[in-house]
Amino acid sequence: MATAFVNGVNIYYEEYGSGPAMVLTSGFTGTTKAWSSQIPALSQNHRLILHDLRGHGQSDAPADRALYSWDTTIEDLYQLLNHLGVEKAIVGGLSLGGLVSLNFYLRHPEMTAALILASTGPGFRSAESRAQWDEGRLKLSEALESGGMEAYMKITAFSSDPEALASQDPIGLSNVNIALQTNQEMVPLDQVNVPTLVLAGQLDTNTIAPTNYMHRKIKGSRMAVIPRANHVANIDQPEDFNRVVLEFLKDFSL
């Protein structure tokens, strides 16, 4: 449990276990706490690295929106792994963290041994769908900037950890929201050429279709649906989530 000064900011991270490296990234507003139920199982045979994205949790949250972008976010993770001496890792995440993982692979395939993409999607093919999504994200940022975390929490559908969410920096989160969660164009899935697990919660109707799409487009990928789980499948049904991930990891080695 430490921070590393990388790419101009302090990034909070935690490490558990030893063996081949695995780095996991939480979704929007999530922190390392979101992976608590994965630590015992996934660190048994791996060096598990968890971190808070810039603007989240215990990492720095600059007020300047210009300090947030996809390039900056990927560089943060790249420099963090270099700081930790990691040459190659299994790269995974949930929701926004899954999209971070996918974009990290596209920029640094040499560092990515495999992908775990949970409750996420590859961006939008339709300009109309993207515009509708962006409208909702802009409303969230308006709430964050005008009323802080209290206003944001009144309009969000759920929170796995309200206390942790309430303690976060609303301006940092708004900056992340605008920089990473609006204007999402389709990621070129045909360029993915590593073992890939795509998974979603059975009750998470918004990500079932994107998960199916990624499974079809990523050659050789494995797909799993976690029964009785919603968007945060790793929290809703941790035993099933961990089992699926561990079964996937058995099929290849670093």
pLDDT reported for residue 6: 98
Q: DSSP for the chain?
A: -EEEEETTEEEEEEEE--SSEEEEE--TT--GGGGTTTHHHHTSSSEEEEEPPTTSTTS---S-GGG--HHHHHHHHHHHHHHTT-SSEEEEEETHHHHHHHHHHHH-GGGEEEEEEES----BS-HHHHHHHHHHHHHHHHHHHHHHHHHHHHHSS--S-HHHHHTS-HHHHHHHHHHHHSS-BPP-GGG--S-EEEEEETT-HHHHHHHHHHHHHSTT-EEEEETT--S-HHHHSHHHHHHHHHHHHTT---
pLDDT reported for residue 43: 98
What distance in Å separates the CA atoms of residue 121 and residue 174, rounded to the nearest whole number? Answer: 20
For CA atoms 89, 92, 98, 102, the dihedral sign is positive
- CATH number of the domain to which 30 belongs: 3.40.50.1820
Has residue 168 been placed in a domain? no
Has residue 183 been placed in a domain? no
Has residue 131 been placed in a domain? no
pLDDT reported for residue 246: 97
What distance in Å separates the CA atoms of residue 96 and residue 102, rounded to the nearest whole number? Answer: 10
Has residue 182 been placed in a domain? no
Has residue 143 been placed in a domain? no
Has residue 167 been placed in a domain? no
| Domain range enclosing 199 | 2-122+188-249
Has residue 56 been placed in a domain? yes
pLDDT reported for residue 160: 61
| pTM for this model (two decimals) | 0.95
pLDDT reported for residue 166: 87
Q: Total domain count for the chain?
A: 1
Residue with tokens 């079964």: 247
- pLDDT, block means (10 residues), the chain with 254 residues: 95 98 96 97 98 97 98 98 98 98 98 98 88 91 94 76 86 97 92 98 95 97 97 97 97 70
Has residue 141 been placed in a domain? no
**What are the angstrom distances between the C-alpha of 4 and each of 13, 15, 111, 200, 227?**
8, 12, 19, 31, 37
